[in-house]
Chains A and B, each alone.
Chain A
Amino acid sequence: MEKKYLGQRVIRNEDPRILTGRGKYMADITYHNMLHAAFLRSDYPHAKLNSVDISAALEIPGVIAIYTAEDLGDYWHPGPVLVPAPHSIPGITANSRTQIPIVKDIIHHQGEVLAMVVAENRYIAEDALASIYVDSDPLDAVENVEAALKPGSPLVHEELGTNIATYVRQERGNFAECKTKADHVIHQKFIMDRGSAGAMENRGFCANWDEDAQQLTIHCNTQSPSGLRNSMAAWFGIPEQRVRVVVPFVGGGFGPKVMTNQPEEVLCTFASIKLHRPVKWLEDRAENFIGTTAERVQVHDCEIAFNKDGKVLGVRDSFLYDTGAFNPYTATIPLNTQTHTTGMYDIPVFLTEFTSVFTNKMICSPVRGAGRTYGVFVMERMLDMVARKLNVDPAKVREINLIAAEAKFPLETGIIAQDFAQFVLDSGNYPAVLKKAREMIGYEDFKKNQQPKFRAEGRYVGIGLVLFTENTGVGPYEGTKITVGNSGKVFASSIYGTQGQGHFTVFAQIVADQIGCKVEDVIIETGDTDKFAWGTGTFASRGATVLGNAYHHTATLVRAKILATASRLFNVPESELELGDGMVKVADMPDKFIKLGDLATKANPMRGTIKPGTEPGLEATGFYAPPYGATAYGAAAAIMEIDPLSFNIKFHKFIFVDDCGTVINPMILDGQLHGGIQMGVGNAYFEKLVYDENAQLLNGSLMDYLIPRATDMPTKMEIGHLNTPSPLNPLGIKGVGESGTIPIPPLYCQAIEDAFNLPDLFITEVPLSPSIVYSLVEEAKAKK
């Protein structure tokens, strides 16, 4: 395998356009006759809708149309289930409820669409919203997942007779039996909440129906151009080939933008087909907080059974998961929780069961970390409980329980994952990651030499070290088409969504290695369904792994065509040909060479003949499909000081160790981890969507919902790498997009407890905040 560019810190191809303000985003998309949409959203989390009076709003000059549920006719129906229930698991309960484009009778959450205004501009559209009169009767709302399951609770979907959406139980071994054999069993409840994806750019959608061509063109910052194309084609009865989705540059995805069949998408398309004009909508921040998707609370009831030598025999985790008012994504998040709980530990017995619960809140869908964070949080916290109980160092407890370096990979876990296949640990060296993390953070030195000094000075400085796994790069598949053009430039397209991950560079590196050209001569096209028609979308940290290997595979096919064509041209065997510097050379004959562009022209002559049975041009299409996901893993460690007055946190040192197999571009990899860690810091100490008992959101602005600032981050993040190639794919890649986020909340808990060193300070709920930690510390002191 050629490896000239793979693994190099190649400067990003896309940066000149983005950094000079020439990259187009959704707000830049415009047509001369474009209309603008605004949506009237429900203030009530749960209510009976009696009527929507649009008559006054229709009188406003510049208002073109106002649509309510009745106007949709046959287009009014619930959307499809986006991710099916895991039916390969026996005994599951699966109640499915998907959202509708506009409320007809019952309002299920705050932010649901009640009416759509289409106007000459957004100002008029927003003004018209204020003139629509809604008559509705509020109903009792379901806010809390535990209360939702009690008899007499209000029901989100009355006809179901229950608030249970999904129930799944998976067991490895027999936990009841295991408990009786253990020296110790500890029982503990944990609560973890996660928040908004908080992308800098909110959602945006522009539909343009061309009545003459019978063609629908959509601009949208979706993570799944193919999913969006397929869903709109199905909803409106248009052939997929007549629906073109184009994704401009995107200011962050992080999960929610993978959702398709969203009310705004259906309604803008509907309006454009009705009005024969382009209709555009840009989501504002207030809408994003109530009308898109987010991740939310899980309540875990856990038991850990272990022996006095620190060896864990078994774990039970029974948890509730708040899925919001509808569950189109079914169980991806809690399945990820189940597969990531025991992680890289050798825990023979594991019972995990979850009940996903309907509430009158915005829909839940994966946000970077996507359920893995909860599993890692409860496991790491339980290991800290074992350490306390046995008075053993937390890092030592981890060491005792790690899967050995000599283990025979792949290791089957017996737990079904988000891709409905068994979760398999494909490769890894787990003791090595712990060792590297201890060395990088200076674990022993801090505990022995530094911490006693800080404590003597009355300073609260603590250390934390936690481990995690990240199942990445799941199927079903991705594909690409690569063409060497007459200019020598290589055009390499896929349908994949791109949101700043450096796709224009990393995939170009992979292709350039095979074609023998410069990275900047490979033009990566993403997210245009007319350039390549097949693929699934950006989720589960799968771009580099699944699409990267598809690019690699397709590039080898093009390479074979280059060699075959040049071999015929020079009349020499392929074995005597060399590819490099954008040309094909005959070995040891400096005057015998041809530039790739010239070869492409010869491969596609405009007159004469080509060899019968061959294809013209230097072009190929190829696909890659993994059998199951590749599991990345790593460690995070920090030394942090808590200010005893403000309870703000200052990092003395922060390190992160990651093994994502073969590294394509170390600079972009570090960037992915930095961004992920920032979201993890948010999950640990800042970000939480707060609802009152009526499921009314209380902090729907960036004034009150806090996203960590640069000054809340470690000033330096030292990143170390291990490289255990995945045996699942030719390039040996594992994903990394979500790794940074996953281990940060338990890291904060462990380090904060270590800083205060109080026997009764044990943190069981995140996110934390300065005032929460202050209260916990005061409570713990009072007990002392």
Chain B
Amino acid sequence: MEIKGDYTFNGPRPVVWSVLRDVNILATAIPGETTLKPISATEYEGSIKLKIGPVSGVFAGKLTVADEVVPESCTLIIEGKGGAGFAKGTGYIKLTEQPDNKTLMQYTGELGIGGKLASVGQRMIDSVAKSMIKGGLEKLEKEVAQRL
């Protein structure tokens, strides 16, 4: 599955960057009872509780931040598996300064899923992913506003 989109934050790039790179904020931006613990400066371990149509379960996984160019861009690599299947994905995030102290975030990514998640939840995955991204971005926007 391919993920692609952009979003404009009402805040300057360094603030948006700091929000994005704050692991505690990131954890709350993902719906479900998500936990993320740093295991190094660029690697995090955690779990996420997901429900996609008839499939639900806890996924344990790892998030790695690579190719980091502060405060501009980075690559996110996620790997997770649980009772309901597995997911493996790579995402690329780019922040560009905009007039009026705004920041444009462009994101592209590819997500591969397998197991019950794919065989039973297939028809719901696109819409679930979209709604998760939308909800997450709104949370991040709120955090950016608080830090201004």
| Complex interface residues of chain B between 19 and 73 (CB less than 8 A to chain A) | 54, 57-58
Given known contacts A44-B114, A696-B114, A701 and B81 CB-to-CB distance under 8 angstroms? no
Complex contacts, B82 vs chain A, CB 8 Å: 130
Selecting from B100-108, B118-126, B138-146, the interface stretch reads: B118-126
Residue in B closest to A696 when the chains form the complex, CB atoms: B114
State in angstroms the CA–CA spacing of A289 and B116 once bound together. 10
Contact of A130 among B83, B112, B115, B122 (CB under 8 A): B83
Q: In the complex, which residue of chain B has the Cβ closest to the Cβ of A693?
A: B112
> Contact: A286 with B114, CB < 8 Å?
no
- Tell me, yes or no, whether B17 is within 8 Å of chain A by CB: no
- Picked from A129, A286, A694, A699, the residue with its CB within 8 Å of the CB of B122 is A699
Chain A 700-734 near chain B by CB (<8 Å), digits 1 or 0: 11011000000000000000000000000000000
Taking the complex as formed, is B92 at the interface, i.e. its CB lies under 8 A from any CB of chain A? no
- Apart from A43-B114, A44-B115, A701-B119, what 18 extra A-B contacts exist at CB < 8 Å? A43-B86, A43-B115, A44-B86, A129-B83, A130-B58, A130-B82, A289-B119, A692-B118, A694-B112, A696-B113, A696-B114, A696-B119, A697-B119, A698-B119, A700-B116, A700-B119, A700-B120, A704-B123
Which 5 A-B residue pairings sit nearest by Cβ, starting from the closest?
A43-B115, A700-B119, A130-B83, A697-B119, A701-B120
Query: Given A43-B81, A130-B57, A130-B83, A290–B119 Cβ distance below 8 Å?
Result: yes
| Assembled-state Cα–Cα distance A110/B120 (Å) | 13
Question: Chain B nearest CB: distance from A55 CB in Å?
Answer: 16
Most chain B CB within 10 A, of A43, A700, A704, is at A43
Using Cβ atoms and an 8 Å threshold, which residues of chain A touch B118? 692, 696-698
CB neighbours of A44 from chain B (8 A):
86, 114-115
Residue of B nearest to A136 (CB): B81
Tell me, yes or no, whether B109 is within 8 Å of chain A by CB: no
Does A110 lie within 8 Å of B54, measured CB to CB?
Answer: no
CA distance A129 to B84 in the complex (A): 10
- Chain B residues within 8 Å of A697, by CB: 118-119
Interface residues of B in 78-92 (CB under 8 A from A): 81-83, 85-86
List the A residue with the shortest CB-CB distance to B83.
Answer: A130
- Docked CA distance A697–B86 (Å): 13
* Residues from chain B with Cβ under 8 Å of A290 in the complex: 119
Docked complex: A89-136 residues within 8 A CB-CB of B: 110, 129-130
Q: Mark A665-702, 1 if CB is under 8 A from B, else 0.
A: 00000000000000000000000000010101111110
Contact string against A for B residues 5-26, beta-carbon threshold 8 Å, 1 for contact and 0 otherwise: 0000000000000000000000
**CA of A290 to CA of B114, assembled, Å:** 12
Residues of B whose CB lies within 8 Å of any CB of A are 54, 57-58, 81-83, 85-86, 112-116, 118-120, 122-123
User: Do A110 and B114 touch (CB < 8 A)?
Assistant: yes
Known: A110-B115, A130-B57. A286 touches B120 (CB 8 A): yes
- A–B complex contacts, Cβ < 8 Å, 5 sampled: A43-B85, A43-B86, A130-B83, A698-B119, A701-B119
Which of B58, B81, B112, B119 sits near A286, CB closer than 8 Å? B119
Instruction: State the Cβ distance, B107 to closest chain A Cβ, in Å.
Output: 23
A residues 191-233 touching B (CB-CB < 8 Å):
none
Which residues in B have their C-beta under 8 angstroms from that of A692?
118
Instruction: Tell me the complex Cα distance, A696–B118, Å.
Output: 8
Q: Are A699 and B114 in contact (CB under 8 A)?
A: no
Please give me the residue from chain B that is nearest to A692 by CB atom. B118
Interchain nearest-CB distance for A643 vs B (Å): 23
Distance in angstroms between the alpha carbons of A701 and B84 in the assembled complex? 14
Q: Do residues B120 and A694 form an inter-chain contact, with CB atoms below 8 A?
A: no
* CA gap between A633 and B120 in the complex, in Å: 39
Residue in chain A with minimal CB distance to B124: A703
Contact call A704/B114, Cβ cutoff below 8 A: no
Partner of B116, one of A43, A699, A704: A43
Whole-angstrom CA separation of A304 from B94 in the bound complex: 58
Instruction: Report yes or no: A703 in contact with B86, Cβ–Cβ below 8 A.
Output: no
Count chain A CB atoms within 10 A of each CB in B54, B85, B114, B115 and give the residue with the most.
B114
* Min CB gap B90→A, angstroms: 15
User: How far, in whole Å, are A704 and B86 apart by their CA atoms in the complex?
Assistant: 20
Within 8 Å CB of B81, what residues of A? 43
Residue of B nearest to A134 (CB): B81
Measured CA separation A45–B114 after assembly (Å): 9
Separation of A316 and B18 alpha carbons in the complex (Å): 68
Distance between Cα atoms of A696 and B116 in the complex (Å) = 10
B96 to chain A, nearest CB (A): 34
Residue numbers in B under 8 Å from A704 (CB-CB): 122-123
Task: State how many angstroms separate the Cβ of B45 from the closest Cβ of chain A.
Answer: 14
Contacts of B122 in A (CB 8 A): 698-699, 704
**Best-surrounded residue of B112, B113, B120 (most CB of chain A within 10 A):** B120
Output the nearest chain A residue to B116 by Cβ-Cβ distance: A286
Docked complex Cα distance between A249 and B81 (Å): 39
Distance between Cα atoms of A692 and B113 in the complex (Å):
10
A286-324 contact mask (Cβ, 8 Å, vs B): 1 or 0: 100110000000000000000000000000000000000
Min CB distance B120 to A, Å, is 5
What separation, in Å, do the CA atoms of A519 and B119 have in the docked complex?
Answer: 48
Q: Give the Cβ gap from A103 to chain B, nearest Cβ, in Å.
A: 15
